[in-house]
Amino acid sequence: MGFISLEQSENLFWLGRYTERVYLTLTYLEKLFDVLIDKDPQAYIPYCDSLNIPNVYKDSTDFMSNYLFDKKNPDSVYANLSRAYDNGIILRNSISSNCLAYLQMSLDTLEEGKKSNSYGLLNQQIIDYLLAFWGGIDEFVGTASERHLIKAGRYLERLDMQLRLGAAWEEIEVTLGKMERRLKGAQAQYATENVQAIWGFARKRPLDPNTRLVALNLAQVIVSHQEN
């Protein structure tokens, strides 16, 4: 296992988090956009509430455009993908130019999509690039510890979004297992008691929404990596 500096570990962890955030957001938006267009033009409001992001949008059309493309909005897909790319640039010698290229192509696709407002095809193309990115992490990242850190970030982000967006406890249980295996593989310090508490909730399958909120609060302090 090669030496990984604290700064590099932060970059690896947040590369995983931001990339997964964009991937899961686009996956969820495919369904949400259909609801906004065909059923409920206000459906973006509870979505913003669930993710604790400011509702700065005039209406559903404004949301569909600016939540994807607005570079100045820190919660937009573009902003999060840019953060993933920035971490990738710093880590290019670790993750390879192949993996970095998939992030660059995703950003380029967003730029093109902003010009054409082609939501559907745009989303799927970026999802495909990001899946290829994850395949490249397995193929090109040289050390197991680096892969573990990237994927620890990936699965912690997935856990956070699953708790926020109402995923089934069975899905959350699977994510917990993947996340903890990666944290242990990276020999990372983390709040094991928080993970065990969420495991307990997942196994009991509680229906009380307050339990999910408690689990989310526990998940947010599993690791101490500062957002990068």
- Residue 2: pLDDT band (50, 70, 90) is low
Mean pLDDT on 199-223: 94
Range of the domain at 100: 6-219
pLDDT in tens, 90-131: 999 999 999 999 999 999 999 888 887 776 678 889 999 999
**Rama region for 71: left / alpha / beta (φ>0; ψ in -120 to 50; rest):** alpha
Q: What percent of the chain has pLDDT over 90?
A: 86
The residue whose two tokens read 């957002």 is 227
- Residue 139: pLDDT band (50, 70, 90) is very high
Q: How many domains does the chain have?
A: 1
- In-domain check, residue 1: no
Please check the confidence at residue 57 and state whether its pLDDT lies above 70: yes
Task: Give the per-residue pLDDT at 61.
Answer: 93
- Residue 221: pLDDT band (50, 70, 90) is very high
Task: Give the per-residue pLDDT at 114.
Answer: 81
Task: Give the per-residue pLDDT at 115.
Answer: 80
- In-domain check, residue 169: yes
Please check the confidence at residue 71 and state whether its pLDDT lies above 50: yes
Q: Could you tell me the sign of the dihedral formed by the alpha carbons of 171, 10, 128, 40, in that order?
A: positive
- In-domain check, residue 225: no
The whole-angstrom separation of Cα 213 and Cα 215 is: 5
Q: Which two tokens stand for residue 22?
A: 């964009």
- 91 φ, ψ to 5°? -100, 15
Please check the confidence at residue 227 and state whether its pLDDT lies above 60: yes
- In-domain check, residue 224: no
- 2 φ, ψ to 5°? -75, 160
- In-domain check, residue 137: yes
Sequence-distant contacts of 210-218: CB under 8 A, at least 24 apart: 212/163, 212/166, 215/163, 215/172, 216/160, 216/163, 216/164, 218/191, 218/194
Q: Which residues are CB-contacts of 31 (< 8 A; sequence separation ≥ 6)?
A: none
Please check the confidence at residue 1 and state whether its pLDDT lies above 50: no
Please check the confidence at residue 66 and state whether its pLDDT lies above 80: yes
- In-domain check, residue 226: no
Task: Give the per-residue pLDDT at 120.
Answer: 67
Q: How many C-beta neighbours within 10 Å does residue 108 have?
A: 12
Record the pTM.
0.95
Q: How many C-beta neighbours within 10 Å does residue 1 have?
A: 11
Please check the confidence at residue 141 and state whether its pLDDT lies above 90: yes
For 51-89, b/e burial (b = at least 16 CB within 10 A) is eeeeeebeebeebbbbbbbbeebebbbbbbbbbbbbbbe
- In-domain check, residue 227: no
